[in-house]
C-alpha cells in the first residue's frame, strides 16, 4: 500500500500543504539508493536543489476545472545533472503554472546522485501510480504526460521510448498499469545524443513514441545538438512531434527565461491544446 506522507513541505518556494506520496511501497523499492542523508545543495540563486534522495516522492498539485471533468496531468521531472533535483524552479513553479491552465501536475523527486537507472525506475513507477490513483486524484488516466528539464528531459525521453521495457520487476498491482505517457514535453533536454552524431543508445526509436514537444535554444551549446539529432530521428521515424528552437535563452531557465525562449510556456500550452491534452 502506498501511504501519503501528507507532510508540510519546509522548502520556502514550494506550496505549504500539497500532499506528498511515496513512489514505492515500504521495503519494495528496486535498484540502488544512497545511504547518505537527504540534503539541500547550497547555492546563492534562491532556488532549492535536493540531493541524496533515497525515498522518491510525488507531490500533487491538483487543478480545478470549470467543466468539472477529470483533469489532464503532467508529471514533472526536474533537472540537476543527475546530481540533484531543482525542486522549485523546474518543479513546483512549473506545477503552479500548469495548474493555472487547468492541468494537474505531479512533481517527481527521483533518486540522486548519479543514479540514472533508479531515476528511470522512479519515473516509470510514477506514471503507473498516477494511472492507478486517477479516480482518487481527479485526473484523466488517458491524458497523463511527462515534462522533463535538462537531465529530467533525459529521464522523460527514456520513459517516452522505453515504456515497453520495464526497468524493474513488478512489486504490486500498481505495476499492471501502463508506463507509456500520453504525451511528452522535453525542455532543454540533456544527454539525448551519443556524442558521435547519433541518438543516445538507450532511446528506443522503434517504440510507439507518444506525441512529443522539444523545446531548446541555439545558444545552449552543451545540449542543443542532442535535441537536433533526436528531432531528426523522430522525423525519420514519422513520430508526431514539434521542435521549438529559439535563438536565445541558454539553459536551465525554467519560467525565468529572458531570451527568445521566454515564450516557450505559451507555445507549450498551444501544443497541448492541439493534441487534445487541455
In what side-by-side order are the strands of the sheet with 57-61?
20-22, 57-61, 104-109, 71-77, 139-149, 184-187, 212-217, 241-246
Yes or no: say if 120 and 167 are a contact pair by the CB < 8 Å rule: yes
Determine, yes or no, domain membership for 31.
no
What are phi and psi for residue 192, nearest 5 degrees? Answer: -85, -10
- Indicate if the alpha-carbon torsion angle 247, 228, 105, 274 is positive or negative: positive
Determine, yes or no, domain membership for 32.
no
CA distance 186 to 149: 6
Determine, yes or no, domain membership for 183.
yes
Low-confidence ranges of the chain (pLDDT < 50): 1-16
Q: Which three cell numbers stand for residue 4?
A: 501519503
Determine, yes or no, domain membership for 33.
no
CA distance 112 to 14: 20
Q: What is the distance between the terminal CA atoms of the chain, rounded to a whole angstrom?
A: 31
pTM: 0.94
CA distance 1 to 172: 9
Determine, yes or no, domain membership for 261.
yes
Q: Tally Cβ neighbours within 10 Å of residue 67.
A: 7
Q: Which of 39, 185, 47 is nearest to 112 (CA)?
A: 39
Q: Which of 38, 43, 187 is nearest to 112 (CA)?
A: 38
The number of domains in the chain is 1
pLDDT digits (tens, 9 = 90+) for 155-207: 999 999 999 999 999 999 999 999 999 999 999 999 999 999 999 999 999 99
User: What is the domain range of residue 94?
Assistant: 42-274
Q: Where are the beta strands (DSSP E) in 98-257?
A: 104-109, 139-149, 184-187, 212-217, 241-246
Cell 517504440, residue located: 207
Within 8 A by CB and 6+ apart from 111, the residues are 31, 32, 33, 34, 53, 54, 56, 118, 119, 121, 122
> What is the DSSP pairing of strand 71-77 with strand 57-61?
unpaired
**Kindly report the CA angle at 151 between 131 and 111, in degrees rounded to 5?**
60
Yes or no: say if 6 and 16 are a contact pair by the CB < 8 Å rule: no
- Give residue 15's pLDDT: 44
What CATH number has the domain bearing residue 79?
3.40.50.1820
To the nearest whole number, what is the mean pLDDT of the chain? 94
- Give residue 5's pLDDT: 38
Determine, yes or no, domain membership for 18.
no
Half-sphere exposure of 52 (CA within 13 A, CB side): 7
- Give residue 1's pLDDT: 38
Determine, yes or no, domain membership for 4.
no
Q: Which three cell numbers stand for residue 251?
A: 539553459
Q: Which three cell numbers stand for residue 64?
A: 480545478
Determine, yes or no, domain membership for 98.
yes
Amino acid at each position: 500500500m502506498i501511504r501519503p506522507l501528507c507532510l508540510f513541505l519546509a522548502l520556502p518556494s514550494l506550496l505549504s500543504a500539497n500532499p506528498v506520496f511515496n513512489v514505492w511501497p515500504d521495503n519494495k523499492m528496486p535498484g540502488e539508493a544512497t545511504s547518505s542523508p537527504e540534503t539541500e545543495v547550497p547555492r546563492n540563486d534562491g532556488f532549492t536543489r535536493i540531493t541524496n534522495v533515497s525515498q522518491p516522492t510525488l507531490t500533487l498539485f491538483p487543478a480545478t476545472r470549470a467543466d468539472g471533468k477529470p483533469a489532464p496531468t503532467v508529471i514533472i521531472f526536474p533537472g540537476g545533472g543527475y546530481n540533484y533535483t531543482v525542486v522549485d524552479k523546474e518543479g513546483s513553479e512549473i506545477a503552479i503554472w500548469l495548474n493555472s491552465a487547468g492541468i494537474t501536475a505531479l512533481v517527481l523527486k527521483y533518486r540522486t546522485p548519479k543514479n540514472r537507472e533508479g531515476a528511470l525506475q522512479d519515473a516509470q513507477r510514477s506514471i503507473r501510480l498516477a494511472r492507478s490513483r486517477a479516480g482518487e486524484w481527479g485526473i484523466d488516466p488517458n491524458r497523463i504526460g511527462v515534462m522533463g528539464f535538462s537531465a529530467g528531459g533525459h529521464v522523460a525521453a527514456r520513459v517516452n521510448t522505453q515504456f515497453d521495457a520495464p526497468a524493474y520487476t513488478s512489486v504490486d498491482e500498481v505495476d499492471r498499469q501502463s508506463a507509456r505517457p500520453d504525451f511528452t514535453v522535453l525542455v532543454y533536454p540533456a544527454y539525448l545524443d551519443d556524442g558521435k552524431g547519433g541518438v543516445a543508445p538507450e532511446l528506443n526509436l522503434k517504440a510507439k513514441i507518444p506525441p512529443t514537444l522539444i523545446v531548446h535554444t541555439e545558444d545552449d551549446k552543451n545540449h542543443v545538438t542532442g535535441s537536433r539529432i533526436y528531432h531528426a530521428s523522430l522525423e525519420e521515424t514519422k513520430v508526431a512531434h514539434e521542435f521549438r528552437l529559439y535563438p536565445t535563452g541558454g539553459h536551465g531557465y525554467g519560467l525565468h527565461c529572458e531570451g527568445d525562449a521566454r515564450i516557450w510556456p505559451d507555445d507549450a500550452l498551444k501544443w497541448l491544446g492541439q493534441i487534445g491534452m487541455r
